[in-house]
Amino acid sequence: MNLELEEDDVTELLASYEEELSAEDLIQLEKQMIEEEEDIPTPEPKRFTRQGLAGGFALIEEGLSRFEAEDPNMERYTRVARGVMDSLRCYKEILEEKKMVSFQSNLQQYFKKVDRPATEPPTEPVLVPHLPLLTHLPQYLQQVL
């Protein structure tokens, strides 16, 4: 690479800073800035998932279990575990909300409201296979009993 600078190059560069930019130069500069901004990927916003929260709590509980197994002072362990869980209460609430939403959406899948047209009740008896007509029920019961 030829990195030699000549005095004329430096003078020209310094002189260009004294000149005002034309409208075209400003427009071109703005376009370049917009293109550069578009090239920068925007990170996805962070969000909690039910699985992620549950996994985090499982790791914390595993860590607390290790302390419980090794700490000869149960009072100290209990105090620490309570403090940790109290500090994590806000995350526990988020997890419970996500579980509730998931549970409700599962229920909605099973219990879908079906709109049925209003119809008149049938005037004739409806036969159900393997069931006697209700009008003959007393006679049927006498035969069976």
65-89 pLDDT, tens digit per residue, is: 999 999 999 999 999 999 999 999 9
Please report, for residues 4, 7, 95, 127, the alpha-carbon distance to residue 1 in angstroms, rounded to integers and kept in the order given: 9, 19, 59, 97
91 against 29, higher pLDDT: 91
Residue 107 in this model has a pLDDT that exceeds 70: no
pLDDT digits (tens, 9 = 90+) for 21-47: 778 878 888 888 887 777 778 788 899
Q: Render 52-100 in DSSP notation, one character per residue.
A: HHHHHHHHHHHHHHHHHHH-S-HHHHHHHHHHHHHHTHHHHHHHHHHHH
Provide mean pLDDT across the span 5-19: 75
What's the pLDDT at 55?
Answer: 96
What's the pLDDT at 59?
Answer: 97
Q: How confident is the model at residue 113 (pLDDT cuts 50, 70, 90)?
A: low
Q: How confident is the model at residue 114 (pLDDT cuts 50, 70, 90)?
A: low
pLDDT digits (tens, 9 = 90+) for 117-141: 666 666 666 555 555 555 666 666 6
